[in-house]
């Protein structure tokens, strides 16, 4: 096979791949194609034509397999990302609900016992508990804002910034849960002190 014939074969194969809408050629597939082209240089013209068609069909099948594999990976990644977003939204909603609900219940309790004189220990624990629940709601709200910024950052393909904001958002949600736990602890102390004073 002459050098011109080899160049024409390569151009022809690349044009066919490009004609199918592909902009990139897999390096390993191109190397395999060139090796088969090298082997076919000593064959007869008819055998080379048959071998070329076979190689070209194999290359097309290989390329199609790679495209389908890539599509499946992209689809899988998109579904995983949706799942992560839904889980994060659930965590944010729960942090609002538990801290907000606890704050409302605590305010109702404070209103009920306000008429009865309580010692400063009970009042201090109840105020600390209310501050903790309010802090949990605030941290949940900040985490929601950071989640929005995280999505905006990922949409601009700023992966490092998106990952950093995602970690910060997770820390704020964990902080909201810690506030809920500390609020429960202060409320427990207030109840114990209240029961002891009775």
Domain presence at residue 65? yes
Q: Do 65 and 103 share a domain, yes or no?
A: no
Domain presence at residue 76? no
Domain presence at residue 47? yes
The pLDDT score that the predictor gives to residue 132 is: 92
Q: Do 94 and 190 share a domain, yes or no?
A: yes
Domain presence at residue 190? yes
Question: What does the alpha-carbon distance between residue 65 and residue 57 come to, in Å, rounded to a whole number?
Answer: 12
Q: Do 180 and 107 share a domain, yes or no?
A: yes
Which of 47, 69, 91 is the C-terminal boundary of a domain? 69
Q: Do 133 and 181 share a domain, yes or no?
A: yes
Q: Do 125 and 43 share a domain, yes or no?
A: no
Q: Do 97 and 62 share a domain, yes or no?
A: no
Number of domains observed in the structure of the chain: 2
- What phi and psi values does residue 193 have, to the nearest 5 degrees? -65, -40
Question: What does the alpha-carbon distance between residue 62 and residue 67 come to, in Å, rounded to a whole number?
Answer: 9
In 3D space, the residue among 198, 183, 184, 189 whose CA is nearest the CA of residue 121 turns out to be 189
Domain range enclosing 57: 3-69
* pLDDT tens over the chain, length 198 residues: 566 676 777 778 778 877 777 777 777 777 777 777 777 666 556 676 787 888 888 898 899 999 999 998 888 878 877 777 787 778 778 887 888 888 888 777 777 766 666 667 777 888 898 899 889 989 988 988 888 888 888 888 888 998 999 899 999 999 999 999 999 998 888 888 877 766
pTM: 0.57
Q: Do 113 and 172 share a domain, yes or no?
A: yes
Q: Do 89 and 187 share a domain, yes or no?
A: yes
Domain presence at residue 75? no
Which of 13, 48, 69 is the C-terminal boundary of a domain? 69
Q: Do 65 and 90 share a domain, yes or no?
A: no
Give the side-chain half-sphere CA count within 13 A for 117.
0
Q: Do 106 and 134 share a domain, yes or no?
A: yes
Domain presence at residue 77? no
Question: What does the alpha-carbon distance between residue 187 and residue 155 come to, in Å, rounded to a whole number?
Answer: 43
Q: Do 96 and 37 share a domain, yes or no?
A: no
Q: Do 42 and 101 share a domain, yes or no?
A: no
How many residues comprise the chain? Answer: 198
Residue 1, both tokens: 């096979």
pLDDT 10s digits, 72-126 = 888 887 887 777 778 777 877 888 788 888 888 877 777 776 666 666 777 788 8
């Amino acid at each position: 096979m002459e050098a011109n014939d080899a160049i024409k074969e390569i151009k022809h194969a690349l044009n066919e791949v490009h004609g199918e809408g592909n902009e990139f050629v897999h390096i390993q597939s191109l190397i395999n194609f060139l090796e088969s082209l090298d082997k076919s240089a000593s064959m007869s013209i008819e055998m080379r034509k048959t071998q070329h068609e076979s190689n070209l069909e194999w290359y097309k099948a290989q390329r199609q397999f790679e495209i389908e594999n890539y599509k499946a990976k992209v689809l899988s990644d998109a579904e995983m990302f949706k799942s992560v977003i839904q889980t994060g939204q659930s965590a944010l909603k729960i942090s609002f609900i538990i801290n907000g609900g606890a704050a409302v219940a605590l305010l109702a309790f404070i209103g009920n016992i306000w008429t009865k004189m309580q010692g400063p220990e009970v009042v201090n624990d109840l105020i600390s508990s209310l501050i903790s629940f309010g802090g949990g709601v605030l941290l949940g709200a900040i985490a929601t804002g950071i989640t929005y910024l995280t999505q905006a950052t990922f949409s601009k393909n700023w992966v490092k910034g998106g990952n950093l904001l995602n970690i910060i958002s997770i820390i704020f949600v964990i902080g909201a849960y810690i506030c809920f736990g500390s609020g429960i602890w202060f409320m427990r102390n207030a109840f114990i002190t209240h029961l002891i004073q009775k």
